[in-house]
Structure 1
């Protein structure tokens, strides 16, 4: 299955599966060539719980995207979320044998690999090891230590951990759908690539991605990811509440939520009523919009408060950790009417809705610029970025290894001197691929 000069992002969500094919245009924007989506039937709260159904849904979305673009999909970048994801902070250091030599990529690799060997709980595996800042011989707050002299290299890491079985199940679904697994990325990281600006990440921002099964949180400050969390509630529990509270079927509850739902109960008058057709010859049901928004409000408040607890756990109250850019809401659930106002009211933080259109080419379909596709667009951006990295390596070929001298230092920081080093996560991806190939 030969892939041309294009990339593919695959978002395996709880409510929908989206495959999106695209490439970078000459202005550095993402040009979407094809998109396919299907109803997600085998995923619950971000975790695959029915392999056969999930494979079917993936194939459906992929076939649709292929038909739309007139291309064949080979390898995909996939997002991972779910209630099994957790994150922790960890500090580690290495002592360098020769402090007269400058710090190079091997040293950074060695330090990352050390974190990768952390002993996790049974059944857990490290997904991402994200360096936050480095210390060289006690000198703190260094963002890029490469090219510096020093004997002791320390770093603070943000470590994202997930369940081995959940990760392998995703890999198995991709392989069985006839695709190659290019990379796995944490979904809140993908969404943040799509909807946050660098200025916001520098100033401090909390991204809340409200999906169908989970609400993902990613906090950035000084341009570095500081905290991630996955809350096991999303838009589906709101629909479930409407279904129970109004005694109607799920399809009707979802439609009600989307058309008439509001997160703010004060605005509906008592006499605003919507009539819902009864099942098979039964009488139609009449539901007041005030009641509907009360049901929605109660659940949304619960979700927002849980997210706010995580933001406070990060230390937002502390002046040094203040998130100046406030909150950015994205994901399908962020389209709920008056949600922005409710979040501002509960948290007291500036809030905006995040659209992924900033990175898309001007002639892109309007539908793709919806917050619903933030994760899929972010995964596509990740796939494009990885492809570009590999292309640089192919063009450069194997360049001389060894320490950096003064003239190489500048290019060293851009990564153009040496062959692109494999991150710990890329190595882990390869391990997963080998496992899947052998587990027939």
Structure 2
């Protein structure tokens, strides 16, 4: 087991904290070495509201994962979500002094840095700057601008913004748990990596991740992220409604939701009755399955309507922005009975439940493919991508020459025509290599700066 090829995804959710340790096999599939899970006690709607409890929960999940994987965890990739996350579209441009020079990473970085200087609301910080399409002079809809000639480089960006104090709280919990935060990403983007195919992203698809505290949305079209949103309602709100409607405790409400719950009341008959044990010798309570479904239906319909409103805000009803692949639902809340049918009825779009099977190697526990682990699997995939980028960067760095005298040119060779050609070829190769070294992931580059910013402000 090569420790350099192992990454850890840490999903700090509202209902659970999951740590997954894994690596890729020779076929590029994920081999899960170990998983740890703990009840999340200090997180509400994706936001840390109790530092001590969250640290304890992280430690429990990490310890369990370490035992299962027989591996000491030090570095983790973490997801962020919560109702404080918002997104916006922004266009910006730079003027280039010499249009004859080809556009390279320096120009793209300069344009990105300009976007990072946008003035946000007090206490907010830009989390992601995701380029969509570029425009060079009069030529538009360019996906890869490197190598083009032009005097003006313009781009449309999808900008994700969050409250820096709340993001810093997550970073602090990770640090206090004895871990290094090496990667941070928006949770719906991580989930989309785990459950969406390239064909779906190309055709147009909406990911709806129904978690415990929030419902996260990410819209893709032409392989480009077009819209993200976080709705401050999830599976826990449904549990609270059952708890209030049936006058029972939370644990009983959760059992009812998971075991007997349905989002479609007409499927249940009035005569089907569930008996709930009373507290401290009190008589048991009875509730019909139909009434339970009606309570669930009312809240689920609200969540779906809010999610559909976000898709309309993107423009899914326009012919050009139509989501041909429909909706993929994932997250623990997506396991609710008849949720797919209700969403299909409400939106009129094709629906499927997102599982992680496609990325997992054979022989893995079936439980890991469950929608509730989509975010954690996606974070693991992000961690492995960052490892690959780091390794490629190291490999591309020029090696020091220990014996320069050994390859010194003789006076006769120095001026020979063949040698001049060799020197020119060498310079050309070095220039190519230099340009290749510059090609670093835009997301990884910003991620490093963002993590540094969080650490510096702690």
What pairs with 1:98-247 in structure 2 (closer than 5 Å)?
Answer: 98-247=98-247
Check the 8 A contact 2:78/2:183 in 1, yes or no.
yes
Corresponding position of 2:452: 430
Residue 271 of structure 2 corresponds to residue 249 of structure 1? no
CA distance in 1, matches of 2:29, 2:177: 29
**What's the offset of the Cα at 1:411?**
8.6
Q: Deviations over 1:307-347 (max 9, x none)?
A: 00000010111100000000000000000001000000000
Cα distance in structure 2, aligned partners of 1:13 and 1:105: 36
Which residue does the alignment assign to 1:309?
309
Corresponding residue for residue 271 of structure 1 = 271
Spell out, residue by residue over 1:193-221, the C-alpha distance to the aligned partner (whole angstroms, 9 max, x if none): 00000000000000000000000000000
Q: SS state of the match for residue 391, structure 2?
A: helix
Deviations along 1:252-282, one digit per CA (max 9) or x if unpaired, are 1000000000000001111101111111111
Distance 1:392 1:349 in 2: 41
Give yes or no for contact 1:126–1:160 (8 Å, CA) kept in 2: yes
Per-residue deviation, residues 54-110 of structure 1 (Å, max 9, x unmatched): 000000000000000000001100000000000000000001111111100011111
Q: Are 1:319 and 2:319 matched, yes or no?
A: yes
Distance 2:258 2:85 in 1: 29
Change (3 A) 1:212 1:416: same
- C-alpha spacing 1:406/1:213, structure 2 compared with 1 (3 Å): farther
1:42-53 superposed matches below 5 A: 42-53=42-53
Residue 32 of structure 2 aligns to a residue in which SS? strand
For residues 227-253 of structure 1, the C-alpha deviation after alignment (integer angstroms, 9 at most, x for no partner) is 000000000000000000011110010
Equivalent pair of 2:261/2:292 in contact (CA under 8 Å): yes
Q: Does 1:347 align with 2:347?
A: yes
How many residues are paired up? 428
- Following the alignment from structure 1 to structure 2, what is the Cα–Cα distance between the partners of residues 40 and 278? 27
Question: Once the two structures are superposed, what CA deviation does each residue of 1:8-65 show, in whole Å capped at 9, x if it has no partner?
Answer: 0000000000000000110001110000000000000000000000000000000000
Distance 1:369 1:38 in 2: 18
The alpha-carbon distance between structure 1 residues 411 and 29, as it changes in their structure 2 partners (threshold 3 A), is farther
- 1:417 is displaced (CA, Å) by 4.2
Q: 1:411 to 1:319 in 2, by over 3 A?
A: farther
Q: Measured at CA, do residues 326 and 419 of structure 1 come closer, stay the same or move farther in structure 2, by a change above 3 Å?
A: closer
What's the TM-score once normalised by structure 2's chain length? 0.91
Instruction: Please report how far the alpha carbon of residue 435 of structure 1 lies from its aligned counterpart in structure 2 after TM superposition.
Output: 2.7
Counterpart-to-counterpart distance in 1, 2:315 and 2:451: 33
Correspondence 1:396 to 2:416: no
Distance of 2:344 and 2:152 partners within structure 1: 44
Aligned residues of 2:105 and 2:439 also touching (Cα < 8 A)? no
Q: CA deviation at 1:124?
A: 0.2
- For residue 296 of structure 2, what is the aligned residue in structure 1? 296
TM-score, normalised relative to structure 1? 0.94
C-alpha distance in 2 between matches for 1:124 and 1:313: 22
1:112–1:424 contact (8 Å) kept in structure 2: no
Query: Which structure 1 residue ranges, 5 or more long, are not aligned?
Result: 400-404
Instruction: Please list, as runs of the form range in 1=range in 2, the aligned pairs for 1:399-410 lying within 5 A after superposition.
Output: none
CA-based RMSD of the aligned residues comes to: 1.8
Cα pair 1:147 1:409 within 8 Å, conserved: no
In structure 1, the partner of 2:261 is 261
How far off its partner does 1:419 sit? Answer: 6.3
Mapped contact 1:190–1:379 kept (Cα < 8 A):
yes
Match of 1:420 among 440, 445, 450: 440
2: CA distance between counterparts of 1:146 and 1:406? Answer: 18
Contact 1:392 1:416 in 2 (8 A): no
SS at match of 2:357: helix
Between Structure 1 and Structure 2, whose CA radius of gyration is higher?
Answer: 2
Residue 433 of structure 1 and its aligned partner are, at CA, apart by 2.1
Shift of 1:418: 3.6
Question: Given the alignment of the two structures, is residue 338 of structure 1 paired with residue 328 of structure 2, yes or no?
Answer: no
